[in-house]
A and B are shown apart, each in its own frame.
Chain A
Amino acid sequence: MSHTTEITADTVLDDAVDDLPAASRARRLPFSLWHLVLIPLTFVLIAPLVWMLLTSLQTHAEATHFPPVLVPEHPRFQNYADAWAAAPFGHFLLNSLIVTLVVLVSNLVVCSLAGYAFARVQFLGRGALFLTLMATLMVPFQVTMIPVFLIVKWFGDNVWDALGIDHIGALMLPNLATAFGIFFLRQFFQTIPVELEEAARVDGTSRLGVLFKIVLPLSLPAMSTLAALTVLTSWNDFMWPLIVVTSTDQMTIPLGLSYFQGAHNTQWPLLMAANVMSLVPMLVVFLVAQKYFVQSVASTGLKG
């Protein structure tokens, strides 16, 4: 079988189910019953987002109500312009984009190499190294942030200025590879049938070749998932930029958002407007990435 259309377990089941008389009646409805489940579910999940949107259109007076005013009387789209003007968000956006892009590419490359090695290559000390890398996830950032600061400062002073404190290089440096990415890809690579790889190796393909020609093409769902998650974490990172950046021109978007949070008052409508605007790039990334979430059977090369 070589279907080239999108195949999921569900469409196959629907085909099979076609032959059963009673169930076929359900398929006469103009829409799938699943929508009735998914819509309320989705609404519950995105309730915070809806609240953010509504608040971003309120006036300051409306936002200072409790219980909260749900729908603003006159939606104030001006908030978006005001929020944009309150701080150099254009520059922050550029910084965030650069940092996130570098961190993304670096993670995808480095973590897939390492993840594959941990999943499939036997080498001395593999287990111990893996546990050590995982262990770095287990001490809270609040404690490690000062040592990391000192290390990054050292890099800035001794290796390259642009990597040091108060440069966006410092925002990238500690995040170029994460144990999370390695762990995630290792798990995923383990699910790829080893027979495929062995067949290629018998044919004389090198390890690296197997990785690029066999494993990675089959791993698009995992890689795109990792990409989406990496972008998310990097884009929303707040604590580390807060500590490392001291000049306005090196700030990223989350730092810019803190412009709206004063000691006693927070300007909720503007803060939410800025928040919504900062979500848009991530949404774009996700919409692109999720095209690859679905595994096209044609590319697997699996024989029947």
Chain B
Amino acid sequence: MIRSRLVIALAAVAALLLASCGGKAGNASGPTEIAVWNGFTDASATNFAALIDRYNKDHPDVRVTQLMTSNDLVLQKVLTAVRGGSPPDIAYMYGSWAPNIAEIPTVTDLSGYVSQPGWNWDDFYPAERAAATVGDKVVGVPALVDNLAVVYNKSLFAEAGIAPPTKDWTWNDFRTAAAKLTNSKGQYGTLISGDGSEDTVWHYLPMLWGAGGDILSPDNQRAVFNSAAGVRALTTLQQMAVTDKSIYVDATNANGVNLMNSGKIGMLVTGPWDLPSFTDIEYGVQVLPAYPGSDEGHQTISGPDNWVIFNNGGERQKAALDFVKWITAAPQIQSTSAATGELPTRTSVGQDPALVAELTQKVPGTETFIENLSNVKKARPTVPQYPTISQALGQAIVSVLLGTAQPADALNTAAQAADAALAGK
């Protein structure tokens, strides 16, 4: 009874396995196959697939395939693949991983390549180049750029009788507006991610920089975010969260966009990727506020991501380099931006008025984000210990937001942890 079932099942399976493996024939003399791992969805996915098709048509000696995976998990997958000896050729990787990826031996150092004329390396925004450079090594080619600005709900502002934010507004204006926009019926002036992750930290960093502070000393040896500027920035958050109670601290980091779209939040500090989700409100976009008395201006932060190329041998690496060079060339950046609404990664493209107009017409507010790219003056340090530093800082910020610590103490504790990490390795 069981035995005959088993035999039939095994036979069927063996047949199916052999059949399904047909597609993995060796290609000793066929086109060079390279694999690109990415996590694109929606319009980005369609656009990328179209780009691959075009490239494959124009280059019959190369065949580009892609593997779709979740962006968050690409790192685990890459690490396992690298250890197991089967890395991809190209992978889309978050910029924050750059310092650690730099240590993988199979990651190609692009510094020799990108300095060649055809790449127009300097055409990429400075923040992107900084995020792709670890010491002397260039670990990736910019794939995506964004920045943080303030998206505000025009109707809520009107209801509360506040004038919409202007280009010259300060953090005091922000605080006042947030307080006025908060009511007892579940409406909040603003929202911040409260899970202590890099998401929390990178919302705080523009404030730190705006107040004149920095994360690490210029030689990347010590933490300096517990300076007076750092305390000033964190105190602003404390005043809003604890005193005014005008911040919704989202501990699960899940609901910010939805709450904004439901008209429950007055101002949200976020990036251009969220604009398409705000279908139910009338929104405006404004640059981040500045600190009165500081000449750092309206600093913001950018979170560029990179195309990382792995060295899998002569032919494949050559093909990979060529493909990445092509998809990051100006014409392709232009068409990608137009198709997906993403900010252009090249300055030349970002200054094209026709493109800016087209993007803004599709998704209002995009022009402010593009302009805001010139406000990105600083970048996060590309040291391998950054994840540890970020965690320490994140916990400090959350403890202040929840009212369980004072800014100076919290920052000092975090600085100690950061210094220990920098020294330890």
Taking Cβ atoms with an 8 Å cutoff, the residues of A that contact B are 60-61, 64-68, 87, 95, 98, 101-102, 105, 108-109, 145-146, 149-150, 153, 161-162, 165-169, 212, 216, 242-243, 246-250, 255, 258-265, 267
Q: Which residues of A contact B6 (CB under 8 A)?
A: 105, 109
A93 CA / B173 CA spacing, docked (Å): 55
B83 touches A150 (CB 8 A): yes
Min Cβ gap B143→A in Å is: 11
**Given known contacts A109-B2, A165-B86, A167-B21, is B13 in contact with A101 (CB within 8 Å)?**
yes
A109 CA / B276 CA spacing, docked (Å): 53
Q: Which residues of A contact B346 (CB under 8 A)?
A: none
A-contact 0/1 string along B1-22, CB 8 Å cutoff = 1100110011001001110110
B70 touches A261 (CB 8 A): yes
A162 touches B17 (CB 8 A): yes
Is B116 close to A, CB under 8 A?
no
**Given known contacts A162-B17, A243-B80, is B86 in contact with A262 (CB within 8 Å)?**
no
- Contacts beyond the supplied A65-B261, A101-B13, A149-B84: 17 A-B pairs with Cβ under 8 Å: A61-B280, A64-B257, A64-B279, A98-B16, A98-B17, A101-B9, A109-B2, A162-B21, A167-B20, A168-B17, A216-B2, A243-B80, A246-B37, A248-B67, A258-B73, A263-B71, A264-B273
**Interface size class, chain B:** 35 or more
B67 touches A246 (CB 8 A): yes
A-B contact pairs, 5 of them (CB 8 A): A64-B280, A98-B13, A167-B17, A167-B20, A264-B274
Q: Which residues of B contact A242 (CB under 8 A)?
A: 69-70, 73, 76-77
A246 touches B20 (CB 8 A): no
Min Cβ gap B398→A in Å is: 21
Q: Which residues of A contact B351 (CB under 8 A)?
A: none
A102 CA / B5 CA spacing, docked (Å): 12
Q: Which residues of A contact B80 (CB under 8 A)?
A: 145-146, 149, 243
Is B264 close to A, CB under 8 A?
yes
A165 CA / B45 CA spacing, docked (Å): 25
Q: Which residues of A contact B30 (CB under 8 A)?
A: none
A102 CA / B274 CA spacing, docked (Å): 43
Min Cβ gap B310→A in Å is: 13
A61 touches B273 (CB 8 A): no
A300 CA / B282 CA spacing, docked (Å): 71
Q: Which residues of A contact B20 (CB under 8 A)?
A: 95, 98, 167-168, 249-250
Is B35 close to A, CB under 8 A?
yes
Closest to A68 in B: B258
Is B159 close to A, CB under 8 A?
no
B85 touches A153 (CB 8 A): yes
A-contact 0/1 string along B72-93, CB 8 Å cutoff = 1100110111011110100000
Is B202 close to A, CB under 8 A?
no
A146 CA / B76 CA spacing, docked (Å): 10
A87 CA / B13 CA spacing, docked (Å): 24
Q: Which residues of B contact A60 (CB under 8 A)?
A: 279
**Given known contacts A243-B80, A262-B40, is B69 in contact with A105 (CB within 8 Å)?**
no
Min Cβ gap A173→B in Å is: 11
**Given known contacts A66-B255, A109-B6, A153-B85, is B13 in contact with A167 (CB within 8 Å)?**
no
**Given known contacts A61-B280, A105-B6, A247-B67, is B84 in contact with A153 (CB within 8 Å)?**
yes
Q: Which residues of A contact B76 (CB under 8 A)?
A: 242-243
A168 CA / B277 CA spacing, docked (Å): 37
A260 touches B41 (CB 8 A): yes
Min Cβ gap A237→B in Å is: 14
Determine which residue in A162, A167, A267 has the highest number of CB atoms from chain B within 10 A of its CB, and name it.
Answer: A162
A-contact 0/1 string along B246-259, CB 8 Å cutoff = 00000000010111
B17 touches A166 (CB 8 A): no
Taking Cβ atoms with an 8 Å cutoff, the residues of B that contact A are 1-2, 5-6, 9-10, 13, 16-18, 20-21, 23-24, 35, 37, 39-42, 44-45, 65-73, 76-77, 79-81, 83-86, 88, 255, 257-259, 261-262, 264, 271, 273-274, 276-277, 279-280
Q: Which residues of A contact B279 (CB under 8 A)?
A: 60-61, 64
Q: Which residues of A contact B17 (CB under 8 A)?
A: 98, 162, 167-169
Closest to B274 in A: A264
A108 CA / B84 CA spacing, docked (Å): 31
Q: Which residues of B contact A149 (CB under 8 A)?
A: 80, 83-84
B2 touches A259 (CB 8 A): no
A251 CA / B37 CA spacing, docked (Å): 14
**Given known contacts A243-B76, A248-B68, is B262 in contact with A67 (CB within 8 Å)?**
yes
Q: Which residues of A contact B77 (CB under 8 A)?
A: 242-243
Determine which residue in B2, B5, B88 has the highest number of CB atoms from chain A within 10 A of its CB, and name it.
Answer: B2
A246 CA / B20 CA spacing, docked (Å): 15
A162 CA / B276 CA spacing, docked (Å): 44
Q: Which residues of B contact A162 (CB under 8 A)?
A: 17-18, 21
Min Cβ gap A157→B in Å is: 10
Min Cβ gap A188→B in Å is: 17
A260 CA / B42 CA spacing, docked (Å): 8
A65 touches B258 (CB 8 A): yes
A267 CA / B16 CA spacing, docked (Å): 33
Closest to B271 in A: A264
B262 touches A259 (CB 8 A): no
**Given known contacts A98-B16, A150-B83, A258-B70, is B9 in contact with A105 (CB within 8 Å)?**
yes
**Given known contacts A145-B80, A168-B17, A249-B23, is B86 in contact with A66 (CB within 8 Å)?**
no
- From the candidates A65, A105, A243, name the one contacting B262 in the complex (CB within 8 A): A65
- From the candidates B24, B83, B255, name the one contacting A167 in the complex (CB within 8 A): B24
A243 CA / B74 CA spacing, docked (Å): 9
Closest to A91 in B: B20
Min Cβ gap B8→A in Å is: 10
Q: Which residues of A contact B261 (CB under 8 A)?
A: 64-66
Min Cβ gap A144→B in Å is: 11
Min Cβ gap A258→B in Å is: 4
A64 touches B277 (CB 8 A): yes
Min Cβ gap A206→B in Å is: 15
Min Cβ gap A226→B in Å is: 14
A291 CA / B66 CA spacing, docked (Å): 44
A196 CA / B69 CA spacing, docked (Å): 54
B86 touches A259 (CB 8 A): no
- From the candidates A68, A167, A169, A258, name the one contacting B69 in the complex (CB within 8 A): A258
A196 CA / B85 CA spacing, docked (Å): 54
